[in-house]
Amino acid sequence: MMNQFVFLMAGSEGGEGGGGAQLLFLVLIIGVFYFFMIRPQMRKQKELRKFRESLAKGDKIVTTGGIYGKIAEIKDNIVIIEVEDKMRLRIDINAVIKDMTDAAPQK
């Protein structure tokens, strides 16, 4: 029984030709992950950063919490938005996710 185990181990060490194919497969998998997952995510983050930098007084926005409002003031990383009845909220600029100026009014 022990001799069969030793022979099986010795037989599996033979072919070294598969190492290059495994390396090529690994590089291919990494390339697919980069082009289909990492790169689009980086592009989204860049567009969101540009959007947040272009915010101005009077823009209608939506926050990550789902609060709709209109920008009243912008100071550094703080945005003061006006919601219903002239109520004002102070939020971090990173909480702004959408610009609602182009959205169609709801009926």
The reported pLDDT for the residue numbered 103 is 58
Which of 81, 79, 104, 75 has its CA nearest to residue 94?
79
Average pLDDT over residues 2-9: 52
Mean pLDDT of the chain: 83
- Whole-angstrom distance, CA of residue 49 vs CA of residue 33: 23
Mean pLDDT within 1-24: 62
If pLDDT is split at 50, 70 and 90, which confidence band does 34 have? very high
Q: What is the DSSP letter of 100?
A: -
pLDDT in tens, 97-106: 887 765 555 5
Which pLDDT tens digit goes with each residue over 53-74? Answer: 999 999 999 999 999 999 999 9
Joined together, the tokens standing for residue 62 give: 């939506």
Confidence (pLDDT) at 100: 72
